[in-house]
């Protein structure tokens, strides 16, 4: 086994996503961003904070379409590097800044932002109450928190929870129902708009093809890698995607805009 394949197997999930050059989108992808834009009043004067931004998809896409500017943070340094390189490659380096940071200690002044793009990331933050307080701190008066949050509508068996933890190094909690999250966010914010969305569960053949297309993309980040490295990436990515795909049988996601109290 080559050193690079060993490194691939040991990478954290966020670092592996960055290694692949994968666009890590919030649940709902571009339709979610349109929901946020329309319901949270995002425009050319907006200053966005992209919380746990990974490779910067949400803020980059919104700023490209609507103008404004954004700061993003993530705990994965490789993901931040990809986000900054991508911003520069599309001519947005002056309006998009991505830094390595912690959601529980946001590197910004009080009231610095008009909107926070939260995706589904509060579940991944260990000290999420601290992170929520930080989100409220850095939002200005009437600031908006934009979310695309997974929740359980049916309790998953322990075997599914164990599989997710094994695949991405993160253990979800079966108590994370819609009610749980509503009570959590309402501690600091007021709900302005929301809609629940179904999650599509894919069959194995289709998912394998998606994974191979992503890894063997002739213009992708891995295009010059040896065949054995690409195959190792396919194997790990499929295991992750298949596990999360089965997990979807117990989940929906909630698109929401919350206003700072």
> What's the pLDDT at 35?
98
Indicate which CATH number applies to the domain containing 10: 3.40.50.150
Q: How many domains does the chain have?
A: 1
Q: What is the mean pLDDT of residues 254-258?
A: 98
> What's the pLDDT at 104?
96
- Is pLDDT of 158 > 70? yes
Q: What is the mean pLDDT of residues 180-190?
A: 97
Q: What is the mean pLDDT of residues 18-23?
A: 88
> What's the pLDDT at 23?
82
Q: What is the mean pLDDT of residues 18-26?
A: 88
Order across the sheet with 47-51: list the strands.
96-100, 69-74, 47-51, 113-119, 139-152, 251-260, 189-197
The helix-helix angle for 77-89 and 13-20 (nearest 10°) equals 30
Q: Which long-range contacts (CB under 8 A, 24 or more apart) does 102-106 make?
A: 102/73, 102/75, 103/51, 103/52, 103/73, 103/131, 103/134, 103/135, 104/130, 104/131, 104/134, 105/134, 106/49, 106/73, 106/134, 106/135, 106/137, 106/138
Q: pLDDT tens across 194-250, in order?
A: 999 999 999 999 999 999 999 999 999 999 999 999 999 999 999 999 999 999 999
Q: How confident is the model at residue 21 (pLDDT cuts 50, 70, 90)?
A: confident
CA distance linking residue 4 with residue 7, whole number of Å: 5
Q: Which pTM was predicted?
A: 0.92
Rounded to the nearest angstrom, the gap between the alpha carbon of residue 121 and the centroid of all alpha carbons in its chain is 6
Mean pLDDT of the chain: 96
* DSSP code per residue over 134-158: HHHHHEEEEEEEEEEEEEESSPPPH
Q: pLDDT tens across 75-129, in order?
A: 999 999 999 999 999 999 999 999 999 999 999 999 999 999 998 999 999 899 9
> What's the pLDDT at 1?
61
Residue 139's domain comprises 3-260
CA distance linking residue 176 with residue 152, whole number of Å: 6
> What's the pLDDT at 24?
82
- Is pLDDT of 22 > 90? no
Which tokens belong to 218? Answer: 């002739």
- Is pLDDT of 147 > 70? yes
> What's the pLDDT at 138?
98
Nearest CA-CA partner of 124 in 17, 237, 42: 17
> What's the pLDDT at 91?
97
């Amino acid at each position: 086994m080559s050193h690079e394949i060993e490194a691939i197997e040991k990478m954290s999930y966020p670092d592996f996503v960055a290694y692949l050059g994968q666009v890590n989108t919030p649940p709902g992808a571009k339709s979610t961003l349109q929901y946020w834009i329309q319901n949270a009043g995002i425009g050319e004067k907006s200053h966005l904070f992209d919380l746990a931004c990974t490779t910067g998809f949400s803020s980059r896409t919104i700023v490209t379409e609507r103008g404004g500017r954004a700061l993003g943070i993530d705990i994965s340094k490789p993901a931040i590097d990809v986000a900054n390189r991508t911003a520069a490659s599309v001519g947005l380096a002056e309006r998009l800044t991505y830094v390595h940071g912690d959601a529980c200690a946001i590197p910004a002044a009080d009231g610095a932002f008009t909107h926070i793009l939260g995706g589904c990331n509060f579940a991944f933050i260990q000290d999420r109450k601290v992170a929520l307080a930080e989100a409220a701190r850095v939002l200005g008066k009437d600031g908006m928190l934009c979310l695309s949050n997974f929740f359980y509508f049916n309790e998953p068996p322990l075997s599914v929870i164990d599989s997710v933890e094994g695949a991405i190094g993160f253990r979800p909690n079966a108590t994370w129902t819609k009610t749980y999250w509503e009570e959590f966010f309402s501690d600091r914010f007021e709900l302005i708009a929301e809609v629940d969305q179904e999650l599509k569960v894919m069959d194995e053949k289709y998912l394998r093809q998606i994974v191979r297309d992503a890894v063997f993309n002739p213009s992708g980040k891995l295009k010059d890698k040896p065949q054995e490295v690409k195959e190792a990436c396919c194997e790990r990515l499929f295991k992750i995607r298949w596990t999360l795909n089965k997990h979807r049988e117990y989940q929906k996601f909630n698109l929401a805009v919350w206003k700072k109290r």
